[in-house]
Amino acid sequence: MIYNFEDLKEIVKSKVSIKRFNHIMAVVDMSIKLAKIYNADIEKCKIAALLHDICKEMNKEEMKKICKNNFSEDLTDEDLENDEILHPFVGAYWVEKNLKIEDIEILNAIKNHTLGNKNMTLVEKIVYIADAVEITRNYPGVEEIRNLVFKDLNEGILFEAGKKEKYLESIGKKSHKNSYAMQKSIREEIKKKN
C-alpha cells in the first residue's frame, strides 16, 4: 500500500482536538493488537483506524449535505440530525475525495465503524470493535466486552451490539438498521462455521 502512516497522522492531528487524537491513536493500537490476534492485514487496519474519526468535528450542516447527497440509501431523515451517525459516512467520503484513499476495505471500515453493516470483512470488524473497546474507554461493562473480543471477535461484536441495543431500548430508541444487518450477518457466519 502506498499510504504513508506518518503523513496521514499529521493530517488527522490538524483536524481534531487533542482528546480526540488520543482516542484515535488508542484505536490504532487496539486495531494492531486485534489484527495480530486474528491474522488481519495490519497496514489496512492501521490506516482505517487512523482515519476513522477524521471528520468527527466537521460542521454539522456540511456533514448533513454530504450525507444527503451521497448516502440517502443508508440514512433516514432522523439519522441526518445525528452527527454521531453521520461522521463515519462523511469520513469515508472525505478521505476518498481529499486523501485519494481508494482501498474499498479501508473506506468501508471508516464508513461502518459506528453502525456496522452486513458482510463486514475482518478489517471492518476490527476497526468497528477497536473503536468501542480501545484502552481509554471506561463505560460500564467495557472490560467484559474487551476480554471477549480478544477470545472471539464475532462473539465480542455481537455482545457489544446487544449491549448497545439494550441501552438504546432503555431510552426508548431502536438500533439502526445497519446494526441489525451486521448482527444478522455475523450470526449467519457463525452458523456456517459450526
Q: Name the residues that contact Fe ion, by CB under 5 A.
A: 53, 131
Given phi > 0 = left and psi -120 to 50 = alpha, else beta, which region is 20? alpha
Q: How far is the CB of 134 from Fe ion (least distance, A)?
A: 8
4 vs 136 by CB, closer to Fe ion: 136
Annotate 132-168 with b (16+ C-beta within 10 A) or e (fewer): bbbeebeeeebeebbebbeeebbebbbbbbebbbeee
Residue with Cβ nearer Fe ion (32 or 191): 32
Q: How far is the CB of 192 from Fe ion (least distance, A)?
A: 30
CA distances, 148 to each of 36, 142, 170 (Å): 16, 10, 24
Only one residue has cell 473503536, namely: 131
Instruction: Closer to Fe ion by CB, 131 or 160: give it.
Output: 131
Nearer to Fe ion, 15 or 187 (CB): 15
Q: Determine the Cα–Cα distance for residues 177 and 158; give it in Å rounded to an integer.
A: 15
Shortest distance (Å) from residue 129 CB to Fe ion: 11
Rg of the chain, C-alpha, whole Å: 16
DSSP code of residue 81: G
> Between 17 and 189, whose beta carbon lies closer to Fe ion?
17
Shortest CB 151 distance to Fe ion, Å: 23
